[in-house]
Amino acid sequence: MNIQLLNQNISDAKTDISLEYLTADQLKKSKNKKALKLAGFKANQDSICFLHNKNTLVCGVDSHTADDVRSVSAVAIKALKNTEYKSANIAIEDKTLIPALVEGFVLGGYSYEVYKTTKSKPKLKDISLIYTKDDYKSAIKVFSDAVIVADATCFTRDIVNTIPEDLNPVTFAKLAKKLAKENGLGCKILDEKALAKENCTSMLAVGRASRHESQLIHLSYKPKNAKKKVNLIGKGLTYDSGGLSLKPGASMVTMKMDKAGACAVLGIIKAASEMKLDVEINAFIGAVENMIGGDAYKPDDVLVSRNGKTIEVRNTDAEGRLVLADVLDYAQDKVKADYMFDFATLTGACMVAVGQYTTGVMGHSSKLKHSVGKASANAGELTASLPFNKHLKKQIKSEIADICNISNKPYGGAITAGLFLDAFIKEENKDKWLHFDIAGSAYTESPWDVNVYGGTGAGVRFMSEFLKSL
């Protein structure tokens, strides 16, 4: 589907159907109010009504804010894809709503059919945003950035949705190399031999029982006049069986999504490089498969992490934090950054705390959390801060090692996982770092907002917004 921004009168638009967004108050003044009343249309949020004789699709919104516009645009595009219309338009006067429209149409219209033998073939090919104001040049920049971020989110969704047989640590590294070549990024891949030299023994233990070698991927985007340096770290469990602490059968389904943090990091650096942001970005990914076998790491093992801390393993299904412990330490040694953010589908406990739609945010800097929260609100993604405290920190104390990989109590699991990662953040970086737990927000089996079944691309939009603010 092609989406474009045109600067012309709406009367000159040559498309099959026009979209009109109405609040309940605007409905009362609509020239089509009689027909809409007969159809039972009340302009409730996300309601739609086709007036085929007028080539119009009327969409209900509670308000003309970005969140409401984005949501109803996703509903509209799904409906249009089931019609015979080949092109559609919508008039827009407020350029701040351009990203919401683009995301609603592009993300709401997304589908992943790689593994289907019969693929859908919607007739709809073109969406035109008709911008009626004079500042078209500045609007084009807003539109261009919105398309880049939406496409990067879809790119991220595609990787999350790829099955583990097709996307394992080695093929993940090949995908990263391909992105680096296409976008002019630096690329360095550490295989298991190189990881051993770097003393990444915690990460290597997790992937030991897999037939696919673990990989540490480092991509870099370095513009000439970078104003800031940002490190992005992604958990890339291409599949997680739980290891010897085997997951129940039902819980293993959808575990291809355990690489979503790493996928988001790829999507973010892709978007930043295409928007040509004046921010240096270094993306570090720990790509690992957690399997079972005679060589699997075990509960009761004590691992030595890259920074020398010893880790008591009491559950092999708390594996993502073991991978991130080494990757976080490696990233801090290799690049001295102004900000450091990790993305991980780390804990089911985060969903218990904030629900499946929201990303949990943890860290020490209230100022940084506020800045990211503002960016996420502007981008239309939901985030919520979870507080560290010294009492929960006691729950990951080990009697036989420096730290334990799971809490000794069943409560506050998302926070104790964040506190585990905090143990591997150098003191000088504490206020530069935030941890994003996207366990709930990264994948859905029930469509909501602009998200369809499968990977959502969580993190790409709000981090792109934050990077633009720098």
Asked if 233 and 284 count as a contact pair (C-beta separation under 8 A), the reply is yes
Cα gap 122→125, rounded to integer Å: 8
* Residue 208 annotated as catalytic: no
Is the backbone of residue 174 left (phi > 0), alpha (psi -120 to 50) or beta? alpha
Q: Which residue has the tokens 């990444």?
A: 200
CA 176 to each of CA 157, 187, 402, 410, 437: distance values in angstroms, whole numbers, following the listed order: 15, 8, 34, 37, 22
Specify the DSSP element, H or E, that contains 366. helix 366-379
The catalytically annotated residue of 259, 321, 432, 461 is 321
The catalytically annotated residue of 247, 314, 426, 468 is 247
Q: Which residue has the tokens 């351009």?
A: 98
Cα dihedral 38, 43, 47, 50, rounded to 10, equals 40
Cα gap 343→345, rounded to integer Å: 7
Specify the DSSP element, H or E, that contains 436. strand 433-437
* Residue 270 annotated as catalytic: no
Give me the amino acid identity at 370: H
Q: How are strands ordered across the β-sheet holding 186-190?
A: 186-190, 215-221, 279-290, 228-240, 339-344, 433-437, 359-363, 383-385
**Residues annotated catalytic, as ranges:** 247, 321
